[in-house]
Chain A
Amino acid sequence: AQSVTQLGSHVSVSEGALVLLRCNYSSSVPPYLFWYVQYPNQGLQLLLKYTSAATLVKGINGFEAEFKKSETSFHLTKPSAHMSDAAEYFCAVSGQGAQKLVFGQGTRLTINP
């Protein structure tokens, strides 16, 4: 069985500050991990994914995430927040042979000017 926990349903940072969105997972098999972003009234867009290659994964829009097996974590970071980063972010997990994703509950990111 697999599950995802996103710590913090709402994160607020100042423009130019570090963005850190937390994701912890549980998986009985080696996981594939994903971060998606959703803007208002839009579908989900893939930011980045971990598929057992490099543990530090770089994605679009300056985001990156680090897979830490010992901590069962896959936190999303961006060094300097931009106003356009304001959105809902979802962490998701799947496993080898799985046809489905398991989503976390989401984190709403607000950027303060």
Chain B
Amino acid sequence: DAMVIQNPRYQVTQFGKPVTLSCSQTLNHNVMYWYQQKSSQAPKLLFHYYDKDFNNEADTPDNFQSRRPNTSFCFLDIRSPGLGDAAMYLCATGRLAGGHEQFFGPGTRLTVL
């Protein structure tokens, strides 16, 4: 089945230690998104790629970076995680055609010690 895959599902890191979260898709969608979701809140868009074009949200901290080496993969890099970065990180994909629905992966739960 076509899907969005996130690895790992659970990630523990130390304060200030860089961490990378991974997302891959078999849907061949041209748009990939990264969201941060804290407890009992809606997902917050960090940035997205339309093909190779990177689109950063204005309020995304510089501590968060992303890479998309090809259509299938996208990475979220947190350069120096703080305690406030502990959250669920969701990857999603979408197409510009049609109803603009997004397809979400299962998420990575990040814990910062």
Contact = CB atoms under 8 A, between A and B. Distances in A.
Interface of A: 32, 34, 36, 41-46, 49-51, 90, 94, 97-101, 103-106, 108
Interface of B: 4, 6, 31, 33, 40-43, 45, 48, 50, 55, 88, 90, 92, 94, 96, 98-107, 109
A106 B41 contact: yes
Nearest to B53: A99
Contact of A99 (B4, B96, B106): B96
Interface SS of chain B: strand
24 contacts: A32-B99, A32-B100, A36-B104, A41-B88, A41-B109, A42-B107, A43-B4, A43-B105, A43-B106, A43-B107, A44-B43, A44-B92, A45-B104, A49-B99, A49-B101, A51-B99, A94-B100, A99-B31, A99-B55, A100-B33, A101-B100, A103-B42, A103-B43, A106-B42
